[in-house]
Amino acid sequence: MWRCPECRSIHAAEEVDLAHYYRSYPFHDIGEQTVDWMLRAMYRKQLSRLKAAGLKPDDRVLDFGCGGGAFLKFLKENGYANVFGYDEFSEKYGDKSVLNAQYDLILTQDVLEHVAEPWDLLRQLDSLIKPGGAILIGTPNADAIDLQNPEGRVHALHQPYHRHIFSRSALSSIGEKLPWKFEQYYPTQYSNTLLPFVNSRFVMHYFRACDDTLDLAVEPIHANNLRLYAPDTLFWGLFGGLFAPDSDVMVVYRRNAA
């Protein structure tokens, strides 16, 4: 990985065969049937951001990079019928016909950093959004990553999957190259809530108390791990939402109406 001295974004030094790695990507297995109470709490916060961007019940919504489709299920359960998903590496949502339409709102959560050519993706999103529509981009924050201490942000770096990680300044200037108007910057990820044990700081603590691999996100809770019964587990579980790191952020843009 290397950091651009001008925009401070981080890039992978070598290309990889992304299709090879995504054949066994665990997050594609988080399907529509696995929306539990914790995930619902996170999705309620994500939905609040969509609503703040102007989402209406009858809007056409595209979840670009939807994985197993869990958020799509959540939206449908909450009265949003015109929701569609696309994910190049998902067998269920790999149908490109959804890319032949336009949408009132596009969400692309944890996708921009995964693609080989991020500006190709951004131009594609521009072709899919209606004039006046909103584009919400959730992605890691390069400013929060110290390349001299990669272990401290191993999941934000997420090699070999993350190819380009934008800095805040780079994310906030996307509209300079596209007909988009910058509207909102969220300094934390949607997974950070004030509900007990549903916050990004607690997740970081939980991962480090276990084996610190991303597989923990799709495995049963390791309740037999004695390190989880230390006092700091309870502290981060109850109050971690007040100390969320800015390692994952979101920007909201609106396509110019004319």
Distance CA 26, CA 218 (A): 7
Label residue 33 by pLDDT band (50, 70, 90): low
Distance CA 113, CA 160 (A): 11
pLDDT the model gives residue 31: 55
CATH fold, domain 2-191+246-255, is Rossmann fold (3.40.50)
Strand pairing report for 83-86 and 61-64:
parallel
- pLDDT tens-digit map of 36-94: 888 899 999 999 999 999 999 999 999 999 988 999 999 999 999 999 999 998 888 99
Neighbours of 20 (CB within 10 A): 9
- pLDDT tens-digit map of 223-257: 899 899 999 999 999 999 999 888 899 999 999 98
What are the residue ranges spanned by the domains of the chain?
2-191+246-255
- pLDDT tens-digit map of 132-145: 999 999 999 999 99
Does position 34 have pLDDT exceeding 70, yes or no?
no
Q: Is the CB of residue 137 less than 8 Å from the CB of residue 171?
A: yes
Provide the sign of the torsion angle of the four alpha carbons 196, 198, 199, 204, taken in this order.
positive
For the chain, list the strands marked E by DSSP: 2-3, 10-11, 61-64, 83-86, 103-109, 129-140, 164-165, 180-186, 248-255
Mean pLDDT lowest for which of 7-11, 116-120, 149-153, 184-188?
149-153
